[in-house]
Structure 1
Amino acid sequence: MNYRDLRGKTAIVGVGHAGLGEAPGYTDMELLTRAAYAAVKDAGLRMQDIDGIATSSVSASMWLMSVVETLGLRPTYIDGTCVGGSSFMSYIQAAAHALWSGQCNAVLVCYGSAQRTSALGRGVITNARKVLDPQPYEVPYEPMNPPSSYALAARRHMHEFGTRREHLAEVAVAARAWARLNPEAYSRDPLTIDDVLSARRVSDPLTVRDCCLVTDGGGAFVMTRADRAATLKQKPAYILGSATAVWNRQISCMEDLTVTAARQSGALAFDMAGCKPADIDVVQLYDAFTINTILFLEDLGFCAKGEGGAFVSGGAIAPGGRLAVNTNGGGLSCVHPGMYGVFLVIEAVRQLRGEGGARQVRDANLALAHGNGGTLSSQSTVVLGTAATL
């Protein structure tokens, strides 16, 4: 089977989340479980209907097995691969293959983290990075990662293309403007360019407002074959294109600090979907730091390399701008519990369903969600569409 043959053959039929922001007293697993049940219910299914599972966490080894045990599943398809925050989007292509082949009938992709309120969760993540992921060219020098790695990319972009601090700040301000339309967003106070520039410096040139939130939260979505999706209670979001690419782990091993593997994953996803950036109605990008949004807009083809700063200027990606980007408020203002990718998919699906409320993008039929893992390491792109795009 050619990968293009999978276009539109599967769909996301249920989404759910739990404990966004702060969920004191809950564990990672409890947040995952609540989100998983919410997604399955949203799809009009029961947990016993789930026979495929994909999940990962940096807080525990063999996490997948614990999730299967907790949910009481007997899956015929499993995926526990962890490539950082883009993991939950990278699962989509393999899950589509498993569904189309008949290996399984309903795949649950799920995640949970109590990173904000659980001191144990923060400690496990820190220790895991030191022990299990040594990164020999960086960790011995004890950089303040991940902020310093992203600051390095930001500085290089500024040096090479004349990108200004104000351009980075535009990204944060746009995300906050969307968040102010989203009652579920964690940070909803007004934010200006000057607020971003004058905030506490974290790693030059980034201030704390250039950095994602640290929150709790669980998220999940359910995939089925397209024929079954049409019979379920929710409007399906069809998987039109999906691809994942990895070129490096450590940012010091990037060939060019201004070019990410999103260039590869995006091109493959667009090819599979049979569309181009100009066709996309709504975009969800993994904005762990403000520079991410600029880099991904360039690498995915929404603008030329080096033009990302100018592209986002003047509220261009804010409500009412030329391109709707991170309509829930993104990782900068909505939610970011360690690994954010699953929430990109949830928001894309909700926009295609027309469930965005005050932030709803009019006539949204094509949505792109793009995940990032590590320090500009793994990149995963998914193009979703309504029935009108099939």
Structure 2
Amino acid sequence: MPSAAPSTHTSGGRRRVAVVGVALSDCGRVDEATPYALHAQAARRALADSGLDRSVVDGLASAGLGTLAPVEVAEYLGLRPTWVDSTAVGGATWEVMAAHAADAIAAGHANAVLLVYGSTARADIKARRRTSNLSFGARGPLQFEVPYGHTLVSKYAMAARRHMHEYGTTLEQLAAVAVQARANAATNPDAMFRTPITVDEILGGDMIADPFTKLHCCIRSDGGCAVLLAAEEYVPDTAKEPVWILGSGTAVSHTTMSEWDDFTVSPAAVSGRLAFARAGLTPADVDLAQIYDAFTYMTLVTLEDLGFCPKGEGGAFVEKGRLLRDGELPVNTDGGGLSACHPGMRGLFLLVEAVRQLRGEAGAGQVRKRGGHLPEVAVASGTGGWFCSSATIVLGRG
């Protein structure tokens, strides 16, 4: 097995980087665990999945837990990494950190980087017996919006309404995203909600922020996950088929809504273009996509901005079952944040599901290409804030 010491790789080329281990912690309703415990459970499972010894891990990426994240998480896991990242850009954080980790490994600054997350977002709310506060800080640029009660969900709702105004996108089309996410969740034993839902049920639900009713919005769950990235020389010693990082891209847009140039364009338009160019691929090469879906509109507009359909045609694209496991472009095959899990930040879960699909480990929810072949290329695209940040990772077999 290659040395666990930091690489001194100085040859002319950059090392290839693979995802060699993925795992979920217990998810859904996990009242008895702490966030640290979920981190540890996911990390142990991901290492076991990889077949590598923990001694090879010399990098750690974590965010959102502890005063000195990721130092506290590293200590809890018994790791002493020589490469760390604690980027925090909302839901896109994990794709950004995966890109950072892949670059570090490729350059020889680390050999194996563990990305790990855990949250008891649902249990914490239940214990405190109060509702979640979805408004954000009253200092800096946001101070001009906070007095008007402009919450996170209302920012997404405004963007959705603008898309409806500009392009004729309908409530039924937005609801179709949630219907298909729930249908995909039906084959996922780890999904929190698996009972089918209809467009009429969604449209008739309690209004949260016009035009979003309850089922247009993500669920709130507990849970964690972990992803282990490693340099190519570790791959022969791993237990599973590697999934390669083919390309990545990141982008930021705005925090203040008045600084957003176009409510119908997300920063995925930039991160996706960069990721595909660096992978040497196009959207037409992609077999499935895992897209951050805190709200139905996020899925629709991200599909447009990644290039899966022209701008303004997302509504028509998501109709007629295209996003289902056996559809034209399977999206959020585990049920996504709308039905499977959403423990605070979901970006790392996108990578786990993409890898499992490419490795053929999704059981009854497995995507198959024509002829029964496994998918070859997947995309994981995370969105942070209120379309404030985006990061896209292109993954592939072979």
TM-score under structure 1 normalisation? 0.93
4+ runs deviating over 6 angstroms: 120-125, 131-134
Determine which of 177, 184, 207 is the counterpart of 1:178: 184
For the residue of structure 2 that corresponds to 1:88, the secondary structure is: helix
Q: Give the Å deviation of 1:69.
A: 1.1
Which residue is equivalent to 2:54?
47
1:14 maps to 2:21:
yes
Between 1:242-251 and 1:134-143, the stretch displaced more is 134-143
For the residue of structure 2 that corresponds to 1:62, the secondary structure is: coil
Give the conservation status (yes or no) of the 8 Å contact 2:24–2:224. Answer: yes
Distance in 2, matches of 1:246 and 1:173, equals 30
1:381 maps to 2:392:
yes
Distance in 1, matches of 2:27 and 2:296, equals 21
Distance in 2, matches of 1:316 and 1:128, equals 34
Between 1:113-122 and 1:254-263, the stretch displaced more is 113-122
Q: Give the Å deviation of 1:314.
A: 1.4
For the residue of structure 2 that corresponds to 1:224, the secondary structure is: strand
1:77 is aligned with what amino acid? Answer: W
Which residue is equivalent to 2:4?
none
Distance in 1, matches of 2:267 and 2:355, equals 24
Determine which of 91, 95, 99 is the counterpart of 2:105: 99
Q: Give the Å deviation of 1:195.
A: 0.9
* Structure 2 unaligned spans of 5+: 1-12, 369-373
Which residue is equivalent to 2:200?
194
Q: Give the Å deviation of 1:352.
A: 0.4
1:149 maps to 2:184:
no
Map of 1:1-390 to 2, 5 A cutoff?
9-57=16-64, 60-119=66-125, 126=133, 129-130=136-137, 135-143=142-150, 145-362=151-368, 363-387=374-398
Distance change in 2, residues 1:254/1:78 (3 Å): same
Give the conservation status (yes or no) of the 8 Å contact 1:115–1:122. Answer: no
For the residue of structure 2 that corresponds to 1:19, the secondary structure is: coil
Q: Give the Å deviation of 1:130.
A: 3.4
1:376 is aligned with what amino acid? Answer: F
For the residue of structure 1 that corresponds to 2:240, the secondary structure is: coil
Between 1:131-140 and 1:331-340, the stretch displaced more is 131-140
1:168 is aligned with what amino acid? Answer: L
* Structure 1 unaligned spans of 5+: none
Aligned length: 380
Percent of aligned positions that are identical: 46
Give the conservation status (yes or no) of the 8 Å contact 1:107–1:222. Answer: yes
Alpha carbon RMSD of aligned pairs, Å?
A: 2.0
What are the superposed Cα offsets for residues 156-213 of structure 1, whole Å, 9 maximum, x if unpaired? 0000000000000000000000000111100101101111111111011100000001
Distance in 2, matches of 1:130 and 1:242, equals 30
2:142 is aligned with what amino acid? Answer: Q
Give the conservation status (yes or no) of the 8 Å contact 1:250–1:375. Answer: no
Q: Give the Å deviation of 1:40.
A: 1.2
